Amino acid sequence: MKLLLLPLAVGVATATPLAIMADSFIKRGVPSSINYSQMVLYGGFELAYNLTGDEKYASWYRGQIDALVQNDGTIKDWDYEKYSLDNYRMGNNLLYWYEKTGESKYKSAASIIRQQINRHPRTPTGGFWHRDPVYPNQMWLDGIFMADSFYAKWTSKFDNENTTAWDDIALQYDNIEAHTRNPKTGLMVHGYDESKVAVWADPVTGAAPLVWDRAVGWYFLSLLEVIPVWPQTHPARKRLIDYFTTLATALKKTQDTSGGWWLIMDEQYVGDEKNYIESSGSAMFTYGFLKGVRLGLLDRGQYLAPAQKGYDLLVNKFVVEKDDGTVDWEGTVEVGSLSSDASYEVSSRETIPLHNFYGDDQKTNLL
């Protein structure tokens, strides 16, 4: 799956780097699209605006959204017959603008996505397919981030007494935990196939074979998005907190001495010549530690130092200043998918040029 730039959101520690990154995107331009890559980027603009108060960030961001949302509250070119969790991430951005402006068109557009969730195909146990018809009966960590954060925010704002909805959201997390979590390491593989027919699926568990850092990052951040809006009295709240803290413990243990995390986190591949310290996952884990501390979910004494080490690596190794005053972000894998056999060997043959933290620019693997 492609990522435009999640690490923009890591700049919460100081306004200046965040502003420079936001300015770089404004200067270069970003195609208006419902793609989750753009929507995650726009979340960074929310942070830039909150930190600086500079209206240019809100104005640019709103222009990007208004290019997609019609005056009647419909979404330009929205396909009501396409069921892809990736497209539901946009709901969070629509709710942001509804809260900020009170304009009904944003809520109406968000309701289209909420209704699409109601119709979305499910596994026999009730989990959302990652995409129909491409990935039937498959749940990916990525999909939790794309759909369930919005599902929870919508329910919190407009349907908070709907216990059935909260139970349904909790089911998505419970399913992914039951099938992808390794109880020994605390880490989670990329996804699972409930029907166990995918070429990569474990014949017993249906689980994918590898721990991909950015998929784990998506899931880690989703927990930080749903826990704050989760009803205090709902029994799943404690489980969700446990899911988050258990994963944080595993991530702290697997942090590299450099401060980052490996693209493929399975122990047998750490240090392999085809593997590398990957910047987007490292950014998400760093951000997760910092926000977890701020929310009181993680102990400051245990997690602040690892977060600072991760942040220092991100800023010093992966942010590259350009002659025109803009900045680039390097060291991120472009795509990760379960569309092949998902093995380390096959995935390492799919290459693109990326900056490698441990050496010069070279071709590195997509997973």
- 31-64 pLDDT, tens per residue? 999 999 999 999 999 999 999 999 999 999 999 9
pLDDT of res. 348: 47
Average pLDDT over every residue of 343-359: 48
Whether 82 is covered by a domain: the verdict is yes
Residue 366 pLDDT: 29
What's the rounded Cα separation, in Å, for the pair 115 and 121?
A: 13
Residue pair 234/225 in contact by the 8 Å Cβ criterion: no
Which of 14-28, 63-77, 315-329 has maximum average pLDDT?
A: 63-77
* Confidence band, pLDDT 50/70/90 cuts, at residue 340: confident
pLDDT of residue 350: 40
Question: What's the confidence (pLDDT) of residue 337?
Answer: 84
Which pLDDT score is estimated for 341? Answer: 87
Q: Both ends of the chain: CA-CA distance in Å?
A: 9
The alpha carbon of residue 110 and the mean position of all alpha carbons in its chain are separated, in whole angstroms, by: 19
In a domain, 79, yes or no: yes
Q: What does the pLDDT look like over 83-141, one tens digit per residue?
A: 999 999 999 999 999 999 999 999 999 999 999 999 999 999 999 999 999 999 999 99
Cα 216 to Cα 240: distance, rounded to the nearest angstrom: 15
Q: Residue 1: inside a domain, yes or no?
A: no
**Helical spans, DSSP H, in the chain:** 15-28, 36-52, 55-66, 90-101, 104-119, 141-143, 149-158, 163-180, 213-226, 236-254, 279-294, 300-313, 344-347
Residue 309 lies in a domain: yes
Residue 16 covered by a domain: yes
Buried b / exposed e over 123-147, threshold 16 CB at 10 Å, is beeebbbbbbeebbbbbbbbbbbbb
Q: For the chain, give the mean pLDDT.
A: 90
The pLDDT tens digits of the residues spanning 190-219 come to 999 999 999 999 999 999 999 999 999 999
pLDDT at 346: 58
* Owning domain of residue 125: 6-365
What's the pLDDT tens digit per position in 124-138?
999 999 999 999 999
Report the distance separating Cα 210 and Cα 225, nearest Å.
Answer: 25
pLDDT of 364 above 80: no
pLDDT above 80 (res 357): no
- Is 123 part of a structural domain of the chain? yes
User: Given pLDDT bands bounded at 50, 70 and 90, which one contains residue 253?
Assistant: very high
pLDDT category of residue 233 using cuts at 50, 70 and 90: very high
Query: Tokens at residue 48, please?
Result: 């830039």
Residue 69 forms part of a structural domain:
yes
Assign residue 302 the CATH number of its domain: 1.50.10.10
Give residue 29's pLDDT band: very low, low, confident or very high (50, 70, 90): very high
The answer, yes or no, to whether residue 9 has pLDDT greater than 90, is no
pLDDT in tens, 167-182: 999 999 999 999 999 9
Position 361 pLDDT exceeds 70: no
Please give the tally of structural domains in the chain.
1
Q: What is the pLDDT of residue 14?
A: 45
Residue 13 has pLDDT above 70, yes or no: no
Look at 347 and 224; give whichever has higher pLDDT. Answer: 224
Tell me whether residue 278 is in a domain: yes
Q: What mean pLDDT is predicted for residues 156-165?
A: 98
